[in-house]
Amino acid sequence: MRAAAQDGATTLALSLASVRAAHRLDVLALCDLEGTLLASAGDAYAAEELAPFAASAARESRARRAEILPRLGVIVDTVERGGRTLVVAATATDPHRDVSAIVAAVEDALPPVNSTADEDEAFGAAIEEAFTDSWDDDPLCDLV
Going from the first residue of the chain to its last (144 residues), give the mean pLDDT of each consecutive group of 10, the final group possibly shorter. 56 89 93 94 94 93 81 87 90 78 88 58 64 51 46
Q: How does strand 84-91 pair with strand 74-81?
A: antiparallel
Number of folded domains in the chain? Answer: 1
SS3 content of the chain, % helix, strand, coil (to 5): 55, 20, 25
Q: Look at residues 54, 8, 7, 63 and name the one whose alpha carbon lies nearest to residue 27.
A: 54
pLDDT at 5: 46
* Domain enclosing residue 19, as ranges: 2-143
> What is d(CA 103, CA 126) in angstroms, rounded to the nearest whole number?
21
CATH of the domain at 50: 3.30.450
Q: Look at residues 80, 85, 97, 83 and name the one whose alpha carbon lies nearest to residue 28.
A: 97
pLDDT at 42: 93
